[in-house]
Structure 1
């Protein structure tokens, strides 16, 4: 792992899905195969005031040179994942996989088990769960405000869904190459749980219309 190059405007780190030590020292192409690289946010980032994730608890720090049995870049992985979106559930915000091995590796044990060696990525750390469920709470709050004025419709929910599905957040930075300001659009944070929740809500309303 190391710092990303200057084309990435924020401080980030590179993680190898298949660990570097799995490749021979002479296999430079294998070590730097872009299909095997993902960008990670830096450790100990405070997402919630007063709460941060210790560096040793961050996904790349915990993974180290261990192998995981899936690629986060594969569209197939999404088919096995769901989220706990019930805000009253003590596990609210957790990622759930129907694949037992993946569930263990992403961090399927409870709050008291985060040091379990099998929990490789720690994606269900309480801080991450709270960050995810806060997105759902925001959507629910928007729905309540909407209900006071208008009925929450499938069309309205689909509009919100598209905001999470597409790159809709403008981001500007100064290029270190030529000093000019660059602007691009990025995805919203924790969009996975938002897409999952909104899709379920739309399906539910669709069934109500048919009944």
Structure 2
């Protein structure tokens, strides 16, 4: 995960939630605002969104696509916190939540609550990664919720983070002169690249996006830089 910096809510959402008697509904302007501020990656697993997930049938060969390409997630669930159901600061956007054979992220979380938030810098600072791409927290409560409530270490999620890290390490090795150790300037350049949004053109135009799974890269490079101080 990476720290999500919340922007001002879109005026269309302000108008909607101030309508007397209105209930929660993910209007398009709300969804687009969340996608934009998150750089089009899932708030929890950091996959690229919007995307469609495959749900395999019992034969393990045939599949159907999920009927959604994103999910608006209430960090504090609507079911238990009616007073927060229209609160923009309580909302993030997630992937459809079914990569491979397991549910994860909001699809698994459902009406349950978690005690941490991806908009909380102190929580993000507890995040750690192992060499095989597994995500964890130094806080036992957070760690258990990441595992049991969000299921962030499915085989494919862990593997995708590992492959992302492996690719970036290869890029750094190619950038550094042959036989030379990694230098601070090179690591800072790569940290800047993966910490910031980049312009990417798709069928809907040019968008500012984070690299998928960038959290593991940011953590790894920050750790390496501390050894050079």
Give the TM-score normalised by structure 1.
0.71
Matched positions, count = 170
Could you tell me which of 156, 159, 170 is aligned with 1:130? 159
Pairing of 1:1-211 with structure 2 (within 5 A): 5=28, 8=32, 10=50, 11-24=69-82, 27=83, 30-45=84-99, 52-54=100-102, 57-84=103-130, 86=131, 92-107=132-147, 119-147=148-176, 149=178, 151=180, 152-174=182-204, 182-206=205-229
Residues 172, 186 of structure 2: 8 Å contact kept: no
Deviation at 1:201, TM superposition (A): 1.8
What's the secondary structure of 1:22's corresponding residue? Answer: coil
If asked which structure has higher relative contact order (CA below 8 Å, sep 6+), I would say 2
What's the secondary structure of 1:72's corresponding residue? Answer: coil
Which residues of structure 1 form unaligned runs of 5+? 46-51, 87-91, 108-118, 175-181, 207-211
Residues 12, 41 of structure 1: 8 Å contact kept: yes
Give the TM-score normalised by structure 2.
0.66
CA 123–18 in structure 1, closer or farther in 2 if over 3 Å, else same? same
CA 169–189 in structure 1, closer or farther in 2 if over 3 Å, else same? farther
Deviation at 1:79, TM superposition (A): 1.6
What's the secondary structure of 1:96's corresponding residue? Answer: strand
What's the secondary structure of 1:67's corresponding residue? Answer: coil
Which residues of structure 2 form unaligned runs of 5+? 1-23, 36-49, 51-68
CA 147–32 in structure 1, closer or farther in 2 if over 3 Å, else same? same
Deviation at 1:157, TM superposition (A): 1.4
What's the secondary structure of 1:18's corresponding residue? Answer: coil
Deviation at 1:38, TM superposition (A): 0.9
Deviation at 1:148, TM superposition (A): 5.2
**Bigger mean CA offset, 36-45 vs 193-202:** 36-45
What's the secondary structure of 1:21's corresponding residue? Answer: coil
